[in-house]
Amino acid sequence: MDKTEDQTILKVEDIGKSFGGLLAVDKVSFHVQKGELLGVIGPNGSGKTTLVNLVTGFVRPDSGRVIFQGLDITGKMPYRIAELGMARTFQMVKPFYHLPAFKNIIIPLYSPRVKKLRGGKYGERDAVAIDLLEEVGFERDSFVPYKVASSLPHGYLKRLELARCLALRSDLLILDELFSGMSMSEVASTLPIIERLNGEGLSIIMVEHRLKELFRVASRVIALNFGRKIAEGSPHEVMESEAVKAAYLGSEAEG
Amino acid sequence: MTVRYRKERLDRGIKARCEDMFALSSYREILYLLLPRVLPVIALLCFPLLKGVVGLYWEKVLVITCAIALLSLSWDLMASVGLVSLGQALFFGAGAYLTGFLNKSLGWPYFLTIPFGTVGGALFCTFLLLPVLRLRGVYFAIVTLTLPLLFTRFIEASKILGGNAGISSLSPLPHLWFELYVPVLALLICLFSFRRLINEDYGLVLQGIRDNDLAVMSGAINIYKFKAQAVFIAGMAGAFAGAFMTHYYQFVGMPAFALDYSILPLTCAVLGGVGTFAGPTVGAFILVPLSEALRAFGTLRVVFYSAILIICVVGLPEGIFHYIQRKYHQFERMVEVG
Amino acid sequence: MISSILVYGLVNSVILALIAIGFSLTFGISGVANFAYGGFYLLSGYLTWILLKYLGLPFIVAVFITIGAVGLLGFLIYWVILLRVRGIVLSEVIATFALGVGMLEFFRWKGFVTYEFTLPYFKKGMLLIADVPVDYQRLFIIAIGLALVLFLYIFTHHTRIGWSFRGIAQNERTAISLGIESDWTAALSLAFGSAMAAVAAISILPLGIISINMGYDVLLIAVAVGIVGGLESVPGILVASLILGYAQIITSMYISAEWMMVVYLAAIVLVLTIKPSGLFGKFKELEERV
Ligand SMILES: Nc1ncnc2c1ncn2[C@@H]1O[C@H](COP(=O)(O)OP(=O)(O)OP(=O)(O)O)[C@@H](O)[C@H]1O
Ligand SMILES: [Mg+2]
The domains located in chain B, with CATH, are: 5-336 (1.10.3470)
Q: Where are the domains of chain A?
A: 1-85+172-255, 93-169
Q: Give C214→chain B minimum CA distance, Å.
A: 14
Are β-strands A86-88 and A172-176 bridged in parallel, bridged antiparallel, or unpaired? Answer: parallel
Q: What is the pLDDT of residues C198-228, one digit of tens each?
A: 999 999 988 888 888 889 999 999 999 999 9
Helix H segments across A14-137? 48-56, 78-83, 101-109, 112-118, 124-135
Mean pLDDT of the B71-95 span: 95
Confidence category of residue A253, pLDDT binned at 50, 70, 90: very low
Integer Cα distance of C81 and C96 in angstroms = 9
Q: What Rg, from alpha-carbon coordinates, does chain A have?
A: 18
The pLDDT score that the predictor gives to residue C195 is 94
The pLDDT score that the predictor gives to residue C47 is 92
Give the ligand at the shortest distance from the Cα of A227.
1
Q: Whose CA is nearest to atom 26 of ligand 1?
A: A44
The pLDDT score that the predictor gives to residue B319 is 86
* Sign of the alpha-carbon torsion through C161, C163, C169, C174: negative
Q: Whose CA is nearest to atom 30 of ligand 1?
A: A45
Q: Please provide the DSSP assignment of C105-125 as one string.
A: HHHHHHTTTSTT--PPPSS--
Q: The pTM is what?
A: 0.90
Size of chain C, expressed as the number of residues it contains: 290
**Nearest-10 crossing angle of helices C160-170, C136-158:** 80
Q: In angstroms, how far is the first alpha carbon of chain B from the final one?
A: 10
Q: Verify whether the Cβ–Cβ distance A53 to C287 is below 8 Å.
A: no
Integer Cα distance of B103 and B242 in angstroms = 14
Q: Please provide the DSSP assignment of A54-77 as one string.
A: HHHTSS--SEEEEEETTEE-TT--
The CATH architecture one would assign to domain C2-289 is: Orthogonal Bundle (1.10)
On the 0-12 / 13-18 / 19+ scale of CB atoms within 10 A, C104 is buried
Element (H, E) at A31: strand A22-33
Residue A10, classed as helix, strand or coil, is strand
pLDDT over threshold 80, residue B334 = no
Which residues partner with A17 through β-bridges?
A: A25
Residues 229-288 of C with CB under 8 A from A: 287
Q: Which chain C residue shows the shortest CA-CA distance from B164?
A: C258
Q: Give B214→chain A minimum CA distance, Å.
A: 8
pLDDT over threshold 80, residue C110 = yes
Least confident of A37-46, B99-108, C33-42, C146-155: C146-155
Distance from chain centroid for Cα C270: 21
Q: Which chain B residue shows the shortest CA-CA distance from A129?
A: B201
Closest ligand 1 atom to residue A52 Cα is 18
What is the ipTM metric for this complex? 0.89
Q: In angstroms, how far is the first alpha carbon of chain C from the final one?
A: 54
The CATH architecture one would assign to domain A1-85+172-255 is: 3-Layer(aba) Sandwich (3.40)
Q: Give B265→chain C minimum CA distance, Å.
A: 12
pLDDT over threshold 70, residue C280 = yes
Q: Verify whether the Cβ–Cβ distance B207 to A99 is below 8 Å.
A: yes
The pLDDT score that the predictor gives to residue B19 is 60
Distance from chain centroid for Cα B329: 25
Element (H, E) at A9: strand A8-19
Residues of A at the C interface, defined by Cβ within 8 angstroms: 49, 53, 58-59, 90, 92
Which residues partner with A224 through β-bridges?
A: A229
Distance B256 CA to ligand 2 centre (A): 51
Least confident of B22-36, B69-83, C66-80: B22-36
Q: What is the pLDDT of residues A91-116, one digit of tens each?
A: 999 999 989 999 999 999 999 998 88
The pLDDT score that the predictor gives to residue C285 is 42
Residue B219, classed as helix, strand or coil, is coil
- Is B56 in CB contact (< 8 Å) with chain A? no
Are β-strands A63-68 and A8-19 bridged in parallel, bridged antiparallel, or unpaired? Answer: antiparallel
CA neighbor of A244 nearest in space, from A254, A255, A228 = A228
CA neighbor of C194 nearest in space, from C101, C70, C20 = C70
Q: What DSSP designation does A179 have?
A: T
Q: In angstroms, how far is the first alpha carbon of chain A from the final one?
A: 48
Ligand 1 pocket by Cβ (under 6 Å) = A 19, 22, 24, 42, 44-50, 91; C 287, 289
Q: What amino acid is encoded at A219 in this protein? A: S
Q: What Rg, from alpha-carbon coordinates, does chain C have?
A: 19
Could you give the C-alpha distances from A11 to A3, A65, A232, B264, C262, in angstroms and in order? 15, 8, 15, 55, 50
